[in-house]
Structure 1
Amino acid sequence: MFVCLGMFARSVANEPYPKSPIIERIQLDWKTHRRAAQGSDNFQLTWAQDGHLYGAWGDGGGFGGSNSKGRVGLGVAKIEGPADDYRGTNIWGGVDGQNPAQFDGKSWGMIGVDEQLHMWVVPDRPPGKDYRNHYEFIRLASSRDFGATWNKSGWKFTSFDNLTIPTFLNFGRANWGVPESFGDYVYSYFIRPSDPKIQQQGNDAAGLIVHRPGTIYLARIATDQLQFGPDRDRFEFFAGLSPGDQPKWGSIDEKRPVFRDPNGVGWCMSACHHPGLQRVLICTEHGESKAGLLGVFDAPAPWGPWTTVEYYSPERPFGAKRPGSDWPWKNNVFFIAFPTKWFDGLDFTANFTGAGMGKDNDSFNTVSGRFVLRSRQ
Structure 2
Amino acid sequence: MGFARIEGDPKNYRGINVWGGFQAENPATFHGKSWATISIDGELFMWVVPDKPKGKKYRNHYEYIELAHSTDKGASWTKADWRFEEGERLTIPTFLNFGKDNSGVPSGYGDYVYSYFVAPQDPEMEQQGPNGVELIVHQPGVLYLARVQTSKLMISRDGYEFFAGFDKKGEPRWGSLTEKQPVFEDANGAGWCLSASYHPTLQRVLLATQHERNRSGLIGIFDAPTPWGPWTTVEYYETSSPFGAVRAGSELPWKQNIFFVAFPTKWFDEDRFTLNFTGAGRGKDNDSFNTIEGRFLVK
**Interval of TM-score (by shorter of Structure 1 and Structure 2):** over 0.9
Counterparts of residues 359-374 of structure 1 (less than 5 Å): 359-374=284-299
Alignment partner of 2:135: what SS? coil
Task: Give the TM-score of the pair, scaled to structure 1.
Answer: 0.78
**What's the offset of the Cα at 1:321?**
1.3
Residue 116 of structure 1 is matched in structure 2 by 43
Paired with 2:97 and 2:258, the residues of 1 have a C-alpha distance of: 21
Counterparts of residues 1-377 of structure 1 (less than 5 Å): 74-226=1-153, 229-374=154-299
Paired with 2:64 and 2:17, the residues of 1 have a C-alpha distance of: 26
Alignment partner of 1:155: what SS? strand
**What's the offset of the Cα at 1:329?**
1.5
Paired with 2:155 and 2:267, the residues of 1 have a C-alpha distance of: 30
Residues 191 and 267, structure 1, Cα contact 8 Å, conserved in 2: yes
Alignment partner of 2:9: what SS? coil
**What's the offset of the Cα at 1:327?**
4.2
**What's the offset of the Cα at 1:96?**
1.4
Task: Give the partner amino acid of 2:270.
Answer: G
Residue 21 of structure 1 is matched in structure 2 by none
Structure scoring higher RCO (CA < 8 A, sep ≥ 6) equals: 1
Residues 327 and 360, structure 1, Cα contact 8 Å, conserved in 2: no
Alignment partner of 1:154: what SS? strand
Paired with 2:73 and 2:251, the residues of 1 have a C-alpha distance of: 35
**What's the offset of the Cα at 1:298?**
0.3
Alignment partner of 2:152: what SS? helix
Alignment partner of 1:131: what SS? coil
**Which 4+ residue blocks in structure 1 deviate beyond 4 angstroms?**
none
Paired with 2:248 and 2:197, the residues of 1 have a C-alpha distance of: 27
Paired with 1:101 and 1:234, the residues of 2 have a C-alpha distance of: 29
**What's the offset of the Cα at 1:323?**
2.4
Paired with 2:197 and 2:133, the residues of 1 have a C-alpha distance of: 29
Alignment partner of 1:156: what SS? strand
Which 10-residue stretch deviates more, 81-90 or 188-197?
A: 81-90
Deviation track 1:58-96 (CA, whole Å, cap 9, x = no partner) reads xxxxxxxxxxxxxxxx00000011111111100001121
Alignment partner of 1:341: what SS? helix
**What's the offset of the Cα at 1:325?**
2.7
**What's the offset of the Cα at 1:328?**
3.4
Paired with 1:328 and 1:184, the residues of 2 have a C-alpha distance of: 46
Alpha-carbon RMSD across the aligned residues, in angstroms, is: 0.8
Paired with 2:284 and 2:184, the residues of 1 have a C-alpha distance of: 33
Paired with 1:364 and 1:81, the residues of 2 have a C-alpha distance of: 14
Task: Give the partner amino acid of 2:255.
Answer: K
Please list every run of 5 or more consecutive structure 1 residues that lacks an aligned counterpart in the other structure: 1-73
**Percent identity for Structure 1 against Structure 2:** 61
Residues 188 and 219, structure 1, Cα contact 8 Å, conserved in 2: yes
Task: Give the partner amino acid of 1:95.
Answer: F
Residue 57 of structure 1 is matched in structure 2 by none
Alignment partner of 2:129: what SS? coil
Deviation track 1:287-310 (CA, whole Å, cap 9, x = no partner) reads 011000000000000000011111
Which 10-residue stretch deviates more, 310-319 or 327-336?
A: 327-336
